[in-house]
Amino acid sequence: MKGFEAIAFYNGWNISVTGVLIVFTALCTLSFIISQLHKVLIIIENKDKYIKKAKNLFSRPKKTGLRHKIRASRNFNESARQFHLLIQSMKDPFSLPKLIMLAKKVDIARPYSTVHELLATKLIVPDGKGYYFWDQDAYKKFLVKE
Amino acid sequence: MHLDPQNIREIDLFRDLSSGELDKILPVVHPVKIFEGERLIREGDTSQTLYIIISGNYLVYFKDGRSFTLHKKGDMIGWSTIASPFTYHESAVALTDGEALIIPIEEFLYLMQLDSDLGNKITKRVTETVRQRKAFVNETRNETRTEKK
């Protein structure tokens, strides 16, 4: 038995068609993956954004409204009070990095952003020479307002 | 942050550059997210990266306890990256979350060496920043010395 007869006898035609189909399918899949690769790259480049989105999907909705505002305000008041106590233990004018270090030592929550808020609300004021002082009058006004 | 020649031109350091020069700069500038409390540079370390502020608030401080804050878009942290002896003269930490552009020094210096005109324009801008900060540093140091006497 030779030639086409042998090919047909040993299922050669079926095998070759199957082979062609496998290769063709693989090439189609590969080309599809390559065509979509730019989307994956966008996700990798903006991974922070997508991680945040994913986290938001599974986390509890943020507390908004009056109750949250009151709580945030209380937190800031408490932080301001704690920082005021720390500053009283330092000489005037004081060093801001040293204040942050001290706040970290005594476990005050989020010392960096709190210092930023204290600067923004002008409770901590720069002396123009690289050091800072606590504005007692502004603090009193702040307490009265709250 | 999406980087293109138009929004990178808004940054003070690149304000004098032509469109062609901006195209050269673009590949070496990388946007990064900065998180509250993240230390960007440490005084005395070999300077390898220049930071340009896009958003957020940052505290720049010195070993003797002096400090100042930066928050303006285009403000530079780590200017000593392109000046001898290539060590940071200050430390910097993020007070809030923010965004910045980072420029790895090797690629940046190589680019400035290849194109002297571009190098001159960048150096001019950096010198301006150094002049402003040096004035602050020297003034404070002199006063500290006087007080000690």
pLDDT in tens, A90-107: 888 899 999 999 988 888
Handedness of CA B126, B132, B138, B140 (dihedral sign): negative
> If you average pLDDT over every residue of chain A, what do you get?
83
User: B85-121 b/e with 16+ CB inside 10 Å = b?
Assistant: eeebbbbbbbbbbbbbbbbebeebbebbeebeebbeb
What integer pLDDT is reported at residue B145 of this predicted model?
A: 45
Written as tens digits, the pLDDT of chain B (149 aa) is 666 666 787 888 888 888 888 888 888 888 999 999 999 999 989 888 889 999 999 999 998 889 999 999 888 898 777 777 788 888 999 999 999 999 888 888 888 888 888 888 888 888 887 777 766 655 544 444 444 44
What integer pLDDT is reported at residue A62 of this predicted model?
A: 54
CATH number for the domain harbouring residue B49: 2.60.120.10
* Cβ contacts of B31 on chain A, cutoff 8 Å: none
One-letter amino acid at A28 equals C
Which one of B33, B54, B57 makes the best mutation probe of the A interface by having the most chain A beta carbons within 10 Å?
B57
Domain count, chain B: 1
pLDDT in tens, A21-78: 999 999 999 999 999 988 888 888 888 778 888 887 776 655 555 554 545 556 778 8
What integer pLDDT is reported at residue A27 of this predicted model?
A: 96
Work out the number of other CB atoms within 10 angstroms of the CB of residue A83.
Answer: 23
Rounded Cα distance, B3 and B5, in Å: 7
Domain that holds residue B127: 5-148
Residue position matching structure tokens 């440490």: B42
Q: Which residue of A has its CA nearest to B38?
A: A112
Rounded Cα distance, A81 and A118, in Å: 11
ipTM over 0.95: no
Contact yes or no for B102/B69 (Cβ under 8 A): no
Q: Which residue of B has its CA nearest to A115?
A: B95
Rounded Cα distance, B112 and B102, in Å: 16
Contact B65 A98 (CB under 8 A): yes
* Cβ contacts of B67 on chain A, cutoff 8 Å: 95-97, 130
